[in-house]
Structure 1
Amino acid sequence: MEETVRLGFCGFDPGAFLSELRPPAPNDLIDAELRLGTRPLGSAPGRAAGRTEGVPRPHLGWLSMLADLVMGTAYAAALGEGRTSLTLSMRIDSVRGALRPDVPIEGYALAEDPDDPGGVLHCLMLQGRQPVATGVGRFLPLGTRARSAPAEVVSFQRRGVDLATGFGLSGDWAPDIDVDLRAEGVLANPSGVVHGGVQAAIAAEAIIRSVAGVDASMCLLTDLSTRFLAPAPTGPEERLVVRVRRIHTGRSLRTVRVELVRGDGVVVSVSEGTVGRNPVMDSLVNSH
């Protein structure tokens, strides 16, 4: 019998969920998702599943693309053949603390009302059959846009690089910083603008590094919320400024705000995250 994973009062059976989904087509893949090691597992109206590769130093930023992928796919599947969607907002919360290194994570999304999606989706993310994070997102329907099957893409995980290196971010990661990012086409969603999952992942990396510096493993990002305000065009000359500001510093938690700003000064997304100490790493440090 398939193990049943329980979150709150609701039972969830991953095997039964997957059995009701249509397998993904080759053109369901895009560069931006593959670069973060994320692939769809299948979809049906109002529901979808996906999987992301394990990473040596995982945090919620790596799950941003997975959450955006499965929720957006579930919503688009409810809209009808060939339709796509635009992410308006997304929030991810850790439910288990530190993620396990190098262990893949699966995401499952379900419309709040399967008969009337209404643009509100929920997702559950599991690592080794254990719940590690939940997410909720709001989406806007868009017209038909064809995805094209990309060439073989080597993910950041397989290249052995972190998100900052993979995205080409540079900076000293002081508490309050502005960092330049080249908005290349490989970061785009099917509409040709910077993927919402990419923006959230960039924000998560900036939040953690602004607190912990290079050794991001010492911190735990407990939640991440992102609101998408304007499109961010992609192209060889396009740039984004990653504006990082601490907005609260407590004894054990810090809250950081990240704005992604276009070259013309328009803010395209705003993210906030809460960072605490990583209890797993603390125990390792204190034991030596």
Structure 2
Amino acid sequence: MEYRYLGRSGLRVSALSLGSWVTFHNQVDIESAMDMMTTAYDAGVNFFDNAEVYAKGKSEEIMGTVLKKLGWRRSSYLVSTKFFWGLNEGINEKDTLNRKYLLEAIDGSLRRLQLDHVDLVFAHRPDPHTPIEETVWAMHNIVESGKAFYWGTSEWPAGDILAAIEIAERHHLHKPVMEQSQYNLFHRERLEVEYTRLFSDYGYGMTTWSPLASGLLTGKYNKGIPDGSRATLPHYEWLKESVTDQAKLDKVSQLQSVADDLGVPLSQMALAWILKNPNVSTVITGASKLQQVKENLKAMDVVSQLTPDVMERIQTIMGE
């Protein structure tokens, strides 16, 4: 396993990590989660990503139960959570990053995770109704309290992130050090264009999600939506439009030819392509089956095969 610094912080994260979005509770029970996390950990993965909203808190509960059963040395792994959407319908309990919500939310997540602290905490989406300064102070207080060690953003516009950094620097507060954005062959603009200054001027860390475009880049949707895939799950119907987009499927077929020439699965090539980006700290992978975890981990061995010629071939297919 390769380990990369989380931006300019001193924290090192495994280049591949394991996330629980969609899968934990919805597709994966405690025993399966234990097998997956153990396999990843034994392979060198040290970062496990979660969020308050995933399965309405059940994802954190499953991960917390697994961590307690496994009894790993706490300093040997990293856990994250994220806040914005909330779990309740109260006026100050959803779609917000106000101080009251954040300071109460971290306590709820720690109870579900059965941990004294998380290593990373993210503001899961920007909140146009709460002053950024209020959010920065609340996140600073969470870090100062020892309930989290680093804080960051998720899918924030670059301008809002820069504002948060500058507010923190002005008041000598703990500033955000990492972002969690979607990044894959079909979703590139934010990381490759919008965040350029964040990387060059501030060394912002990057934890990426949906590296396989919700399974599109595995090729499994080339002949329709298979039974049991996440596009068939309740509340994930919105995925159907993306995974059945014919223009995207045509590109997936062409990418499959490149992977075939390399002698590797398309999914591993797609993950390796992200790993080639030096601004990426870690690629958060997801899996509903243990075999998928094992296959994804092999992407580390594919990175060296993505020569400049192969990268150019991929670029030509994507037309960007």
TM-score over 0.5 for the pair: no
Larger radius of gyration: 2
Between structures 1 and 2, the one with greater helix share: 2
Using structure 2 for the length normalisation, give the TM-score: 0.25
Between structures 1 and 2, the one with greater strand share: 1
